[in-house]
Amino acid sequence: MDQPTADAGRGSPEAWLEVAYESLRDAGVESVRILPLAKKLNLSRTSFYWFFKDREELLAALLERWRDKNTGNWVKQTEAYAETICEAVLNVFDCWLDDRIFDSRFEAAIRSWALQSPEIAAEIQVADQLRIAALTQLFERYQYEPISADVRARAIYLTQMGYISMKSEEELSVRMMRIAEYVEVFTGRRPEERELDRFFMRHHYEAA
C-alpha cells in the first residue's frame, strides 16, 4: 500500500492504524469502523480513503501488525543469545512481561476475531505452528531429544496462551515469585541466581 504524505486535515496512515488498533484491542473487530475511527481522530470520514482503499485493507494492516509484533518478536526471543537453556527460556518469558515485545491484549483481540472469521482462525493456526516450532528448535539447540523438545515447547506455549484466554491477572511480585519454578518445570533445570537477577533487572523488579 502506498502511503501518501500526512496532512493535518487528513491525518496519516499511522494515525488511522493506531486508532484502529486501540479499538480492536479494547472493543473487538466490530468496533473497527471508519466513521467511529474518524470521530476519534476528529477527521472527516472521506480522509480515510487517502490512505486505505476500504475497511478490509485497514483490517489487513492490523493483521500484518500483529504478525510482525507478536509472532515476529516471539520467534526473535527464541533465537536471542543465551548461555544456558534456563537463560534461553527466560528470554522467551520476556514476552509475558513486556507488551513492547508481545502484546497480550492484541493477541486476545485477534483470537476473539478468529471466532468470527475462518480466515483469521487460519492465521492463528499458522502463528501457533510457527511459535511452537521456534520453541521446539530452541530446546533442540540445547540437546533435548525431539519428543522432549516438542512437549516442553507446547507446555510453555499453551501455558501462556491459557493466561491470555483466561485473562488471568497476577501481581508482578506473584508472577516473579513463580518464575524460577516455571523455568524448572519447563526445562528440568533450576535457573541460577545470576540468571534470575538479570531477568528481574530488565523488568525493573527487585526480589525481596
25 and 91, same domain (yes or no): no
Q: What is the pLDDT of residue 170?
A: 87
Tally of domains within the chain: 2
Instruction: Decide which of 53, 72, 88 is a domain's last residue.
Output: 53
Range of the domain at 44: 1-53
Are 107 and 74 members of one domain? yes
Given pLDDT bands bounded at 50, 70 and 90, which one contains residue 4? very low
* Rounded Cα distance, 184 and 117, in Å: 38
Identify the band that residue 111 occupies on the pLDDT scale cut at 50, 70 and 90: very high
Instruction: Please check whether residues 45 and 73 belong to one and the same domain.
Output: no
User: Does 168 share its domain with 193?
Assistant: yes
Domain match, 47 and 67 both: no
Q: What is the DSSP letter of 5?
A: P
> Is the same domain home to 75 and 49?
no
CATH code of residue 45: 1.10.10
pLDDT tens string 164-179: 998 888 899 999 999 9
**121 lies in the same domain as 42:** no
Same domain, 28 and 72: no
Task: Let me know if residue 117 belongs to a domain.
Answer: yes
- Percent of the chain with pLDDT strictly greater than 90: 91
Q: Does 79 share its domain with 181?
A: yes
Say yes or no: 152 and 124 in one domain.
yes
pLDDT in tens, 132-165: 999 999 999 999 999 999 999 999 999 999 999 9
Say whether both 71 and 133 belong to one domain.
yes
Look at residue 168 in the predicted model and tell me its pLDDT.
83
Q: Provide CB contacts within 8 A for 174, sequence distance 6+.
A: none
Pair 29, 70 in one domain: no
